[in-house]
Amino acid sequence: MDSCGLSILDPPSRLGMQSHVSRSFMWPKECVAEAEGELEAPLVDLDGFIRGDQDSTRHAAELVRQACSRHGFFQVINHGVDSRLIDEAYQQLDAFFNLPLQRKLSIPKTAGAMWGYSGAHAHRFSRNLPWKEALSFPFHRTDASEPVVSDFFTSNIGQDLQHAGKVFQEYCEGVKELGLRLMELLGISLGVERRHYREFFEDGECIMRCNYYPPCQQPGLVLGTGPHCDPTALTILHQDHVGGLDVFADNKWQRVPPRPQAFVVNIGDTFSALSNGRYKSCVHRAVVKRYRERRSMAFFVCPKPDKVVRAPQDLVLRDGSRLYPDFTWSDYLLFTQSFHRADHSTLHHFIPWLLSSKPTA
């Protein structure tokens, strides 16, 4: 229990009614420093690339190359995901987070597990808690008769949210295809074979996360999500009209204003390793508002767990050396779930852990 008599297991939506923030949710001053201005990141129009126009493709690839070399962040429009589907996904997100608390708590994330409901990640941590609730579920393409997302909702949440499962199944299918297109564009921007990264991720097991950030009476003390780089390869996120996403670039926090027609895209640690460090893993955070709730939907593109993460040989030859040793996504996921809380230096800490944990010859 906190000194205010509140349990850290209470989600922020309940604590948000309190006039004082529990110490468990407070972050250091350097983490909550106010953003300075808006991030200058390209808005990449994918229409010409999707249609196969060579000039448009070269232009888009150059914008991506510049952004990913600098801070690992860009936005895309004309991405091929139906805006009506995005709106419907938000409606289903609202339906879930408006469920009674006990219903949400009945599908908790257990230690080491990725899937389920989390109220401020209190099942894993006791301080610097994020001021949010989240629902995470898996997505991968399967030959089974029951799609994986629909099956998750039916089996874990209930028949009354069966329609939500179908909506998110369709949403994930659309965003995964966008992710594979972006992998082609990333390959072009790095000067490797166009389909190299697309083929690497086609059978990947991705993560979908719905985020709800309640209002907070003292927003200057808390964070919706603390400063971190995503351990995954690529994050494709849609944020609602409220805003609250910040990126750390040029030694300062900068705001990313919401664009309803755009997805924000950021490089994660796994793709940084696949680019031999050429592309930056984006350092970002989420801030909260005093009077307004915020929602977002994050789709994390991941490889198949047993695939070896290794930069293409021609890229390594051009660079002269390999920056990272071989590892698998399952190695990295284990590290972030059991040994290290994801932050801005996760990959830096992972490499010595990986090398020390490998059996000697």
Q: How confident is the model at residue 361 (pLDDT cuts 50, 70, 90)?
A: very low
Within a domain: 282: yes
Within a domain: 11: no
Domain count of the fold of the chain: 1
Within a domain: 2: no
For residue 251, give Cα distances in angstroms to 70, 111, 247, 347.
12, 35, 10, 20
Higher per-residue pLDDT: 269 or 142: 269
Q: How confident is the model at residue 297 (pLDDT cuts 50, 70, 90)?
A: very high
**294 is annotated as an active-site residue:** yes
Residue 9 scores a pLDDT above 90: no
User: What is the pLDDT, as a whole number, of residue 70?
Assistant: 96
Residue 292 scores a pLDDT above 60: yes
**What digits encode the pLDDT tens for the residues 84-105?**
999 999 999 999 999 998 888 8
Print the domain residue range for 179: 36-304
Residue 271 scores a pLDDT above 90: yes
Within a domain: 18: no
| Region for residue 250 given its phi and psi (left: phi exceeds 0; alpha: psi -120 to 50; beta: otherwise) | left
Q: Which of 65, 198, 278, 294 is catalytic?
A: 294
Residue 10 scores a pLDDT above 80: no
Within a domain: 45: yes
Within a domain: 309: no
Closest to 299 in 3D by CA, of 31, 62, 40, 86: 86
Mean pLDDT of the chain: 90
Closest to 283 in 3D by CA, of 250, 312, 330, 331: 250
**What digits encode the pLDDT tens for the residues 202-224?**
999 999 999 999 999 899 999 99
**What digits encode the pLDDT tens for the residues 301-339?**
999 999 999 999 999 999 999 999 999 999 999 999 888
Within a domain: 68: yes
Residue 259 scores a pLDDT above 90: yes
Within a domain: 29: no
CATH number where 251 lies: 2.60.120.330
- Strand stretches in the chain, DSSP E: 43-45, 73-77, 116-119, 133-139, 206-213, 225-228, 234-239, 245-249, 252-256, 263-267, 284-286, 294-301, 308-309, 327-328
- Which stretch of 38-47, 149-158, 165-174, 351-360 has the lowest confidence by average pLDDT? 351-360
Q: At 43, is the secondary structure helix, strand, or coil?
A: strand
